[in-house]
Amino acid sequence: LHTEVCTCGRTMRVMDRISARSDDMLIIRGVNVFPSQIEDVMKTFPQVASWYQIELTRKNHLDVVTLKAEVNPDFDFDQISAIEKLQKEISSKLKTALSVGIRVQLVEPKTIARSEGKAVRVIDKRKLV
């Protein structure tokens, strides 16, 4: 809000342009998705650590969501069938909960970049024209 007196003499407060959203809601293919909803689903899988990132891209004018999640250190990451099975289970549960398809990519522990302060959960790589 600006409180300066206008050159025309107006003394009312003037609101500046809105620059960004204050919440973290994402709109994916017309569906409102909150990262907290994704986190609630992820908490139901003990094989997965609490560190994850949501990556948004655009392919053929459609939004694509990829969830990169770290597995717990005790998970057997060398067993490909176990990884694929867990990815399918998580993806299926996310689709049921959110009504939008999300690709799941499981990664080894401590491979997602850490940041100082608030965790960077969403990486938006969509190019809006």
Mean pLDDT of the chain: 86
pLDDT digits (tens, 9 = 90+) for 32-90: 998 889 999 999 999 999 889 999 998 888 889 999 999 998 888 788 999 999 999 99
**pLDDT mean over 101-121:** 85
Say yes or no to pLDDT of 124 above 80: yes
Q: What angle do CA 101, 90, 48 make, to 5 degrees?
A: 135
Q: How far apart are CA 34 and CA 98, in angstroms?
A: 9
Say yes or no to pLDDT of 129 above 50: no
Q: What angle do CA 13, 18, 24 make, to 5 degrees?
A: 135
Question: Residue 22: what pLDDT?
Answer: 58
Q: Which amino acid is at 83?
A: I
